[in-house]
Amino acid sequence: MLDKVRNWLEVRIGLDDIVKTQLTENRVPKNINVFYTLGVVALVGYVIQVISGIFLLIYYIPHPEHAFRSVQDIMSRVPYGWLFRQMHVVGSNLMIAAVFLHMITVFLMGNYKRPRELTWVGGGLMLLVTLIFGLSGYLLPWTQLSYWATTVVTSMPTAFPLVGDFIAQVLRGGDHVTGTTLSRFFALHIAILPPIFLSLLALHVFLIKRIGISATPFGFSDEERRPLTEYIKKTHPDGYPFYPYLFQKEVMMVMFYIAVMFFAISFMPTLFLPEEANTPADPLMTPAQIRPEWYFLGPYEMLKLVPNKFLGISIQIILVGIFLLWPFFDTQKEKNILKRPLLRGVFIFLMALWIVLMFLGRRS
């Protein structure tokens, strides 16, 4: 029976050829490691967000008078509403962690180097879009946590001269966070960002397929050492077939990702939902502790520490710029981080700095 279907498809779209080129004859380097699966894990994380988000959309009401109540109803009245909401909340944080891990491992393996600069830029932009997804989604439950964290973050652009106030006003739709802000953040979250993300994703995947999977820097000498003056797709003729070799690894990592997500949902259900997240937003009462989510804590703390606000923001923008355009700054041929003590040192320093800032931000 299965053979009949296969035959039917083969005659129409050349199924056998697709299976051969994409799956069984698609060769990946022999020493490919599990970190190469993180991109797919991040993608699955995104898909989980989309699906759980669509189900939440069925019951959520995007209006300041009803938003909080609708989310409480999802958590306590709608059957299994809690399951989808928790998947969305925990999933968003976990996806950002997966994206960070993916980025760090690509960086450490030097897989952003020529000819893969554009792939890195696309990925960096996707990270920024993901962070904005997080920011816009955060406001939607209209809780004390949402309202005040959004107030803090939308005030940050006022550090810019001339255009700062205007930017903040466009973000908020006014002088303060109101229902107008909720509407535009909602539109951003469900209608504007997804097509942008998907376009970047399509570009990213196209580039990976077109250029070919890079070899790891560890082990045998890398082909990329030779000067590149013309397009040659990177192949691994003596490597393992993508299916089942790398595909199995990807499935395994996705299973563990989901297992971690459900571990958090079962045993740490309030990790991302502290008391302020269960209290309706009150524009007249500022809670004692306002902090952005963990992924914004580092930049937030830096902004508070640098004495000049404008300098604080400029430094961050410069750092983001350097991060996005890193392949253009680092043109050295050596990919192996173990042979690059300077870069290794700087990287470890910056990582440590980010983590310290994050913990400082938690305690403030």
Partner 1 sequence: MKRRNFLQALLALLGSISFASFVYPLVRFLAPPSAEAKARKVTLQKNEVPVGGAKNIVVNNSPAIVINRAGKGFIAFSKVCTHLGCLVEYDKDNNRLVCPCHAGIYDLEGNVLSGPPPKPLPKLPLRVEGDNIVIG
Partner 2 sequence: MSRKYLLLLTVLIVFILPSFAPGGYKEEFEKEFMSKPWAGEQAEEDVCIECHSSDKMKPAFRTITEEWRASWHAQNKVSCHDCHGGDSKDATMAMSRQRGFVGSPKYVEIPEFCGKCHIGIYWNYLDSGHGKALKSSVKGPNCTTCHGSHNIQKASIDIINEQRCSKCHSYERAKTMKQALFLTEKKIGELESSFRRLRAEGVFDEDDERALFSTQAEFRAIFHTVDVSLVKDRTDDFTKKLNVLEKGVQDTFKELRFRKNFSAFIMLLFAAMGIVVFALTKTPKE
For residue 30, the one-letter residue type is K
360 binds partner 2 (CB under 8 A): no
Does 266 engage in binding with partner 2 (CB under 8 A)? yes
Read off φ and ψ for residue 308, nearest 5 degrees: -100, 115
Pick out residues in 32-91 that bind partner 1 (CB under 8 A). 55, 58, 77-81, 83-84
Give the interface size with partner 2 as a residue count (CB under 8 A): 52
Q: Which of 8, 166, 206, 256 binds partner 2 (CB under 8 A)?
A: 256
Contact 112, 161 (CB under 8 A): no
- Structure token digits, residue 259: 């297992």
Residue with Cβ nearer partner 2 (198 or 254): 254
Pick what 290 binds: partner 2, partner 1, none; C-beta below 5 to 8 Å, kind-dependent.
Answer: partner 2
Give the nearer residue to partner 1 in terms of CB position, either 265 or 313: 265
Please spell the DSSP secondary structure of 163-190, one letter per residue: HHHHHHHHHHTSSS--HHHHHHHHHIII
**Subset of residues 135 to 154 that bind partner 2, contact rule: CB under 8 A:** 148, 151-152
Is position 8 an interface residue for partner 2 (rule: CB under 8 A)? Answer: no
Q: Smallest gap, in angstroms, from Cβ of residue 158 to partner 1?
A: 29
CA distances from 112 to 109, 289, 299, 335 (A): 8, 40, 24, 9
Instruction: Provide, rounded to whole angstroms, the least separation between the CB of residue 282 and partner 1.
Output: 9
Total of chain residues touching partner 1, rule CB under 8 A: 9
Contact status: 358 vs partner 1 (CB under 8 A): no
Considering only CA atoms, give the Rg of the chain: 23
Buried (b) or exposed (e) across 235-248, using 16+ Cβ within 10 A?
ebeebbebeebbbe
**Least Å from the CB of residue 322 to partner 2:** 8
> Binds 174, which of partner 1, partner 2, none (CB < 5 to 8 A, cut-off by type)?
none
Question: Please, is 118 exposed, middle or buried when counting C-beta atoms within 10 Å of its C-beta (0-12, 13-18, 19+)?
Answer: middle
Angle (nearest 5°) at CA 203 between 246 and 107: 60
- Judged by CB under 8 A, which stretch of 39-47, 74-82, 202-210, 230-238 contacts partner 2? 74-82
Which of partner 2, partner 1, none is residue 78 near (CB under 5 to 8 Å by kind)? partner 1
Calculate the alpha carbon distances from 300 to 127, 160, 291, 362 in Å: 18, 16, 8, 10
Per CB under 8 A, does 173 bind partner 2? Answer: no
What is the phi/psi pair of residue 28, to 5°?
-115, 155
- What residue 318 binds from partner 1, partner 2, none (CB within 5 to 8 A, per partner kind)? partner 2
Is residue 159 a contact point for partner 2 (CB under 8 A)?
Answer: yes
Q: How far apart are CA 105 and CA 38, in angstroms?
A: 9
Indicate the residue among 79 and 227 with the shorter CB distance to partner 1: 79
Number of H helices, E strands in the chain: 15, 2
Contact 133, 189 (CB under 8 A): yes
- The entry of partner 1, partner 2, none that residue 58 binds, CB within 5 to 8 Å by partner kind: partner 1
Q: Using CA atoms, how far apart are residues 64 and 98, in angstroms rounded to an integer? A: 32
Binding marks (x or -) toward partner 2, 284..313, rule CB under 8 A? -xx---x-------------x---xxxx--
> Which lies closer to partner 2 via its Cβ, residue 211 or residue 260?
260
Segment (H or E) for 241: strand 240-241
Which residues would be at the binding site for partner 2 (CB under 8 A)? 72, 75-76, 82-83, 86, 148, 151-152, 155, 158-159, 161-162, 164-165, 244-245, 248-249, 251-253, 255-256, 258-259, 262-263, 265-267, 269-270, 273, 275, 278-279, 285-286, 290, 304, 308-311, 314, 317-318, 321, 328-329
* Positions that interact with partner 1 (CB under 8 A): 55, 58, 77-81, 83-84
